[in-house]
A and B are shown apart, each in its own frame.
Chain A
Amino acid sequence: QVQLVQSGAEVKKPGASVKVSCKASGYSFTDFYMHWVRQAPGQGLEWMGQINPNSGGTNYAQKFQGRVTMTRDTSIRTAYMELSRLRSDDTAVYYCAKEVRAFDIWGQGTMVTVSS
């Protein structure tokens, strides 16, 4: 079946970087945009950006410009989101989501905790 499986929880210190992976299965990886969305504890959903797995082209939310990098490796059907210069308010669950009809399939989420 179609699924997205994300990497495990991370604990990082302020100023560090984190890279979250999202492995796709059950569909043609390069046919559909992949998005990244985060959710801080007790808060709403926040769109971070998107990647075209076919071309590698990206678009980022203005808030994250300069700090986020989205990449993909088509040989292993995996998308990545790297966030740098982490701050405590980056503590959140990070989701990948595949787009066909809006965001129809989501990963299970990756908890990233930023703490000194």
Chain B
Amino acid sequence: DIQMTQSPSTLSASVGDRVTITCRASQSISSWLAWYQQKPGKAPKLLISKASTLESGVPSRFSGSGSGTEFTLTISSLQPDDFATYYCQQYNTYSTFGQGTKVEV
């Protein structure tokens, strides 16, 4: 099974900050990496697929990069609506999620 390791698990930030979350795969997954945002009591929302493809309607302050085993999610200027938990997911071989990164004030 492919393991996904996210860091950090918690991130304290302020509005306007640049935020970076890292995700590492235990083996190469090419670009089959997605990022999700989840708010309490809600289903996850797909932000980015194929490592760097922004979903329609997702603000351009979100961006993704990487390939192979190392990936990053960057929020260029954190907004109040962005405080949430973020998950990476590999979908190269079935699916595995990272453990999540909570972005808090």
Contact = CB atoms under 8 A, between A and B. Distances in A.
Interface of A: 35, 37, 44-47, 49-50, 59, 61-62, 95, 99, 101-104, 106-109
Contacts, number: 57
Contacts of A106: 43-45
Interface of B: 1, 34, 36, 38, 43-46, 49-50, 53, 55, 87, 89, 91, 94-100
**Contact residues of A: prevailing secondary structure:** strand
B86 to A, nearest CB: 11
Contacts of A61: 94
Nearest to B96: A47
A50 B95 CA distance: 9
A95 B38 CA distance: 13
Nearest to A35: B95
A104 to B, nearest CB: 5
Given A101-B50, A102-B34, 6 more contacts: A47-B94, A47-B97, A99-B91, A101-B53, A102-B46, A102-B89
Contacts of B97: 37, 44-47
Given A45-B97, A99-B91, A101-B49, A108 B43 contact: yes
Contacts of A59: 94
14 contacts: A44-B87, A44-B97, A45-B36, A45-B97, A59-B94, A101-B53, A102-B49, A103-B34, A103-B89, A103-B95, A104-B49, A106-B44, A106-B45, A109-B43
A99 B91 CA distance: 10
A48 B8 CA distance: 25
